[in-house]
Amino acid sequence: MRKLIKRELCSLLTILAVILLAAPAYGITPVFGVFDGPSSSTNNAIARFDGTTGQLIQNSSATLDDSGNIVANSIKVEAGTVGSPGIMLGTGGGLFQGGDNSVEVSLNNLRQFVFFSIDLFADNAAGAQIRNLASTTTVPTVNPRRNDNKTGLGSGAPSQLSVITNSVEGIRVTESGGNATVTFPDGYTRHHDIGAGAATTGPTAPTLTTIGTMIGLAFDADAELAGLNVEVPEDWIGTSDMTLTVHWVPEAGAAMTNGQTVIWDARYHSVTVGEAIDAGTLVTASATYTQSGAGTDKEDIATDITIDYDHADQPLTSGDTLTILFDRDMTGDSYGSDAVVIMWELEYTATGMPQH
């Protein structure tokens, strides 16, 4: 009996060995534990455990090809750190999450850029920033310094660029027909200088004289007139007064004393092409200079006269000829010596670049 049992056991072991050896040739995988998969799968699909038993696998939509390329709907990685990014890009660089609503870029093991909420900005506090906002003429979306989001570049319309400082549009560049135009919406101050020698004088005129190292017109009596003819500038904003600044010097050796006055008058007329040069009523503007304390010999003094842009008698229009009859009111002032004008300066607010 023992010999029979031994012979049968040997036969079973022999059969089992043959099966194990032959199984791979017939596509049969020996099973020593319980491990099951789907009836079919996607080529190159990444197998996944099904459940928590560790014995079942399932198909997936993610694939890994023979070249090592992974294709998936999304890939979720750990947040990582600046020195160990969740997504490594080569050596010393990658992407990581430094906090809620942010994705940060590290290069050379240093944080360089941050995508945060609506902004993309440099790590440097004085670095640049790009904002995902609706750009306007007062809201910049490109900021040279990320710690100042009120200053930078914006746009209020297509083909328009605004340079903005502290939420104020300072410069606007527009394009039309292939031409770029630069304007200053908030305006800037420009000056048109008129030398004493450029004035037109008539029969009763101030005397051309030298004072110090300058040549000027000496006003020493009423009714002495100097005529100033200038064009109302094309780049004038059109909605603000102009200022005629008189640069003058008291007579050499006759410094003004405390309380003395000099009164300047400017009668002006704005004439457009085709209009009679004497049409309308001249507008008179005056300015009084009052000396405070003891004056200085040959002192350069500046006195401002306001030219009203929208006076009912002589409203100003860009391109008009502005004629100014300038004189000194010696009857009304108290300085008894010559007042020598060395220059006039027409100051105005401009919105565009100079035309000529």
Q: DSSP letter string over 135-175?
A: --SSS-SEESSTT-TTSEEE-SSTTEEEEEETTEEEEEEEE
Nearest to 246 by CA among 262, 222, 259: 262
Contact present, 214 and 240 (Cβ < 8 Å): no
CATH of the domain at 207: 2.60.120.260
Q: How far apart are CA 202 and CA 231, in angstroms?
A: 21
> Average of pLDDT values for 331-341?
96
- Looking at the fold, whether 194 and 284 belong to one and the same domain comes out as yes
String of b and e for 162-187 (b: at least 16 CB within 10 Å)?
A: bbbeeeebeebebeeeeeeeebbeeb
pLDDT the model gives residue 348? 96
pLDDT the model gives residue 4? 46
CA 350 to chain centroid, in Å, comes to 19
- Looking at the fold, whether 318 and 264 belong to one and the same domain comes out as yes
Task: Identify whether 164 is part of a domain.
Answer: yes
Taking only the tens place, the pLDDT of each residue in 101-118 is 778 787 777 777 777 777
pLDDT the model gives residue 61? 86
Q: Is the entire prediction scored with pTM above 0.75?
A: no
pLDDT band at 59 (very low <50, low <70, confident <90, very high): confident
Is residue 27's pLDDT more than 60? no
Nearest to 271 by CA among 337, 342, 321, 335: 321
- Looking at the fold, whether 197 and 303 belong to one and the same domain comes out as yes
- Looking at the fold, whether 160 and 300 belong to one and the same domain comes out as no
Task: Identify whether 273 is part of a domain.
Answer: yes
- Looking at the fold, whether 259 and 145 belong to one and the same domain comes out as no
Nearest to 356 by CA among 326, 316, 323, 318: 318
Taking only the tens place, the pLDDT of each residue in 2-13 is 554 555 555 555
Task: Identify whether 282 is part of a domain.
Answer: yes
Task: Identify whether 318 is part of a domain.
Answer: yes
- Looking at the fold, whether 248 and 218 belong to one and the same domain comes out as yes
| Angle, vertex CA 198, rays to CA 197 and CA 200, nearest 5 | 100
pLDDT band at 32 (very low <50, low <70, confident <90, very high): low
Q: How far apart are CA 43 and CA 30, in angstroms?
A: 23
Is residue 199's pLDDT more than 60? yes
Q: What is the SS3 assignment for 2?
A: helix
- Looking at the fold, whether 153 and 254 belong to one and the same domain comes out as no
Q: Of 121, 143, 177, which closes a domain?
A: 177
> Average of pLDDT values for 51-67?
86
Taking only the tens place, the pLDDT of each residue in 248-290 is 999 999 999 999 999 999 999 999 998 888 888 899 999 999 9
pLDDT the model gives residue 12? 55
pLDDT band at 21 (very low <50, low <70, confident <90, very high): low
Q: How far apart are CA 188 and CA 298, in angstroms?
A: 32
Is residue 161's pLDDT more than 90? yes
pLDDT the model gives residue 355? 58
- Looking at the fold, whether 193 and 171 belong to one and the same domain comes out as no
Task: Identify whether 212 is part of a domain.
Answer: yes
pLDDT the model gives residue 54? 78
Is residue 19's pLDDT more than 70? no
Task: Identify whether 84 is part of a domain.
Answer: no
Task: Identify whether 218 is part of a domain.
Answer: yes
Is residue 296's pLDDT more than 90? yes
Name the domain count of the chain.
Answer: 2
Which span out of 6-20, 113-127, 326-340 was modeled with the highest average pLDDT? 326-340
- Looking at the fold, whether 252 and 274 belong to one and the same domain comes out as yes
Backbone angles phi, psi at 175, to 5 degrees: -125, 135
- Looking at the fold, whether 245 and 316 belong to one and the same domain comes out as yes
Adjacent-strand bridge partners of 201: 226
Instruction: DSSP for 4-69, please give it.
Output: HHHHHHHHHHHHHHHHHHHGGGGT----SS--B--S---TTBPPEE-SSSSSBEE--S-EE-TTS-
- Looking at the fold, whether 170 and 204 belong to one and the same domain comes out as no
Q: Of 144, 177, 210, which closes a domain?
A: 177
- Structure tokens that stand for 243 in this block: 């200022």
> Average of pLDDT values for 307-331?
94
Task: Identify whether 348 is part of a domain.
Answer: yes
- Looking at the fold, whether 170 and 285 belong to one and the same domain comes out as no
Q: How far apart are CA 290 and CA 299, in angstroms?
A: 14
Contact present, 338 and 256 (Cβ < 8 Å): no
Range of the domain at 145: 129-177
Is residue 323's pLDDT more than 90? yes
Higher pLDDT, 218 or 223: 218
